[in-house]
Amino acid sequence: MELNIKEEHKFKYVEEGEGPVLLLLHGLFGALSNWGDVVDQFKDKFKVVIPLMPIYGLPLLNTNVTFLERYISEFIHLKNYKNITLVGNSLGGHVALIHVTKNPERIKQLVLTGSSGLYENTMGSTFPRREDYDFIKKKVQLTFYDPEVATKELVDEVFEIINNKAKVIRILALAKSAIRHNMADELPHIKMPTCLIWGRNDTVTPPNVAEEFHQLIPDTDLFYIDQCGHAPMMERPVKFNTILERWLTEKNVFADS
């Protein structure tokens, strides 16, 4: 489906459907379209919201994960969302984790998929050959188990980003910020139910990272998807949506929403 982007004050976002709020946070190279299949699946039961994080528009001094969390917090308060199911992929998962440790009162449950926050073999840490299209193509393909998921459109988009000086500087700053901001000490204080949906073949945040999240966050359920890399909602959307819907049903997501 084509996503309708709304604008309110400084925020750009997608908001589809009515019901409990399902708020989705994209990753460093992510886009609103990464969540297209999730929107399709859940818009009849949820108010599905995807804020566009201002990754390329931040002042360089504020280009870090904690500032992105503040941006998301401002957005949630502006919209007065409550009883939120907060879902984050990759860097979006990291932002979600910071948010629930600082502002847990509006979050009912947390869902992480390929999240940073402990360890990531991030594509954004360095670009020794950023003008080499084939090199960038191979790096993008490594995000997925099936390299065919890395379409030419996706590779072209990443190639454009990292060959734009202003954008690549911010990508590098955010990647380094995420690596520095290890959350191991804070995770045991997360109280809400947490669902971990992980690609068994994720090479960016490998399965041992999921296991560590599972051990450190008290109330977690961990699900693996076979033949799947770092972005399960893109690569294996049917399986991802099935796991998420079943878990939300078990957690009585509609109660008190």
In-domain check, residue 62: yes
In-domain check, residue 154: no
The pLDDT value recorded for residue 39 is 96
In-domain check, residue 208: yes
Q: What is the CATH number of the domain that holds 214?
A: 3.40.50.1820
pLDDT at 1 over 80: no
Q: pTM here? A: 0.93
What total number of domains does the chain contain?
1
In-domain check, residue 147: no
Distances (CA, A) of 187 to 76, 98, 99, 121, 182: 22, 9, 12, 20, 10
Structural domain including 102 reads 5-119+182-250
Pairing status of strand 5-8 against strand 11-16: antiparallel
Mean pLDDT of 31-55: 93
In-domain check, residue 161: no
3-class DSSP state of 222 = strand
In-domain check, residue 177: no
Residue (of 204, 203, 205, 246) closest to 223 by Cα position: 246
The pLDDT value recorded for residue 193 is 97
Pairing status of strand 47-51 against strand 84-89: unpaired
In-domain check, residue 131: no
The region, left, alpha or beta by phi > 0 then psi within -120 to 50, assigned to residue 226 is: beta
Q: What pLDDT, in 10s, does the model give residues 178-234?
A: 888 999 999 999 999 999 999 999 999 999 999 999 999 999 999 999 999 999 999
In-domain check, residue 25: yes
Residue (of 109, 102, 106) closest to 88 by Cα position: 109
CA atoms in the 13 A half-sphere facing the CB of 4: 6
